Structure 1
Amino acid sequence: MSQTLERSERTAAGENPVKRRQILSGAQKVFVSMGFDAASMDDVVRAAGVSKSTLYVYFRSKEELFTALIAEERERYMNEVIGILADPSRPAETLRIYGIKLATKMSSTEVVRAQRTVISVVERMPELGASFYESGPKRAIGLLSSYFDAAVAVGTLAMEDTELAAKQFVELASAGILRCRLFGYETNGPLPAEIERNVDSAVKLFMAGYGPKP
């Protein structure tokens, strides 16, 4: 009976959170220093300080590692967004808070680097690009669209296509910011004042088009 208890308390293969974090930390260092294409699973083994057999218990490929790294940070961000998009009675104030967070995140070094990586491999690994889009931008648009649905229902916004409106606001909030970072024209992220100015203009324009009609 004691042996059965010991087995039940033992962490199942591939489920030790400390070991998983150790591997992901090693993979992050490798991807940052070498780039996704140049990196190999052997490089991750060395950086993480684990055996190759242990690595493959947790992740079968570097694509899985890359996806897992993005997913962890993305979940934290999405949970924060859900908290922001909670009050449909004050869309202008809510969109300002959301827009600043969105533009700050999209122009961050980590996100810019991840987007560059996906773009560089999407022609030969379209499934990676599709997964990146569905779990990130598409999901974010869905959350914002749902918020607009709620705002339309209480009369604080007026629009027929909330999904289109969500896509438009994302573009407005990041206008002139994301592409400069993505293509290396701006090597440093924008200052908070620049982001606020951008988002304030986006909210003003958006509310002029979709604010409640008299």
Structure 2
Amino acid sequence: MMIKDGLKAAEARCTARHAAGSDPAKRGQILAGAKRIFMERGFDAASVNDICRAAGVSKSTLYIYFDGKEDLFETMIEEERDRRFETVTGILTTDAPPAEVLLRYGCAVASIVCSDDVVRAQRIIIGISERMPELGARFFEGGSQRAKTDLTVFLQRQVCEGRLEVSDIPLAAAQFLELSMTSLWRPRLFGQRRVAPSPKEIETVVTSAVTMFMAAYKIATKPGASQAA
């Protein structure tokens, strides 16, 4: 309920702002400046004045488009996430064998989650979630939970089509996402790995994840019957 209320409030704010601040270029200019400041200094150290200077706008102009620093940060996160996941979600709509789709999807998600900008954003969110838990909850709902939900829908379809046998589909979706980032994401998040993993390393990890996942959930082929991989 809290997350739904938060989303409704965000939609209401966006609708109210649109009438006053209707220039997409100016809005994008403000968000670009905000991103530079947030990524360099974090949420707490970033000030509205810093953002205005980076964006080349006045405070009055910024407040036409956004309610303040928290609103700017949330919008920046949401739009960056939507941009990154726009093509990734489409992978799950293809009609290819499930093992092939899972490999492509796992590699795409791991690449996003382990990227420099996303890791920085995750650290910022973790740093402020203790005193702003609703912000952390919305971040989780729109990111990790979104990937799990999309994958759950895909797995449900595979089960209905007789390609997989899964008793707890949401759990299986979460398991696959965790397996796909084994030894990649946490070392990045905590700074043990300073550089994002290469595509080859990601593919190696996700290939192993697919092998384990299919061993657990693929329907065994009966003698004389054909079964999609």
The reply to whether residue 102 of structure 1 matches residue 92 of structure 2 is no
Matched, 1:66 2:100: no
Shift in Å at residue 179 of structure 1? 0.5
Runs of 4+ in structure 1 displaced over 2 angstroms? 76-79
- Which letter maps to 1:201? S
In the other structure, the counterpart of 2:5 is: none
Q: 1:118 aligns with which of 112, 122, 125?
A: 125
Separation of aligned partners in 2, 1:149 and 1:88: 14
1:48 alignment counterpart: 55
Q: Deviations 1:33-63 (Å, cap 9, x if unpaired)?
A: 2221100111111111111111011111211
CA contact (8 A) 1:172 1:199 kept: yes
Q: CA deviation at 1:201?
A: 0.3
* Per-residue Cα deviation, 1:93-124 (whole angstroms, up to 9, x for no partner): 00000011011111100110010000000000
Q: Distance in 1 between matches of 2:136 and 2:95?
A: 32
The question of whether the paired residues in 2 share the 8 Å contact of 1:88 and 1:148 is answered with no
Q: 1:156 aligns with which of 138, 157, 163?
A: 163
Question: Where in structure 2 are there 5+ consecutive unaligned residues?
Answer: 1-17, 222-229
Note if contact 1:88-1:156 (Cα within 8 Å) is conserved in structure 2. no
Partners of 1:101 and 1:137 lie apart in 2 by: 13
Equivalent in the alignment of 1:84: 91
The answer to whether the aligner puts 1:173 opposite 2:173 as a matched pair is: no
Distance 1:203 1:96 in 2: 6
Structure 1: which 5+ runs fail to align?
1-10
Alpha-carbon separation, structure 2, partners of 1:158 and 1:76:
33
CA contact (8 A) 2:163 2:218 kept: yes
Maintained 8 Å contact 2:176/2:213: yes
Could you tell me whether the CA contact under 8 Å between 1:145 and 1:162 is conserved in 2? yes
Contact 2:148 2:170 survives alignment (8 Å): yes
- Per the alignment, in what secondary structure is the counterpart of residue 45 of structure 2? coil
Between 132-141 and 179-188, report the one with greater CA deviation: 132-141
| 8 A contact 2:164–2:218 mirrored in 1 | yes
Identity %: 50
Query: How far does residue 89 in structure 1 lie from its aligned partner after superposition?
Result: 5.4
| Structure-to-structure mapping, 1:177-196, within 5 angstroms | 177-196=184-203
Question: Is the contact between residue 89 and residue 151 of structure 1 (CA under 8 Å) also seen in structure 2?
Answer: no
- Give the stretch that moved more between structures: 91-100 or 134-143: 134-143
Q: Answer whether contact 2:39 2:121 (CA < 8 A) is retained.
A: no
The alpha-carbon deviation at position 213 of structure 1 amounts to 3.1
**Secondary structure at 1:37's aligned position in 2?**
helix
CA–CA distance in 1 between the matches of 2:118 and 2:19? 32
Q: CA RMSD in A?
A: 1.3
Residue by residue over 1:128-159, the C-alpha shift from the partner in whole angstroms, topping out at 9 and shown as x without a partner, is 10110111111111110000000000011110
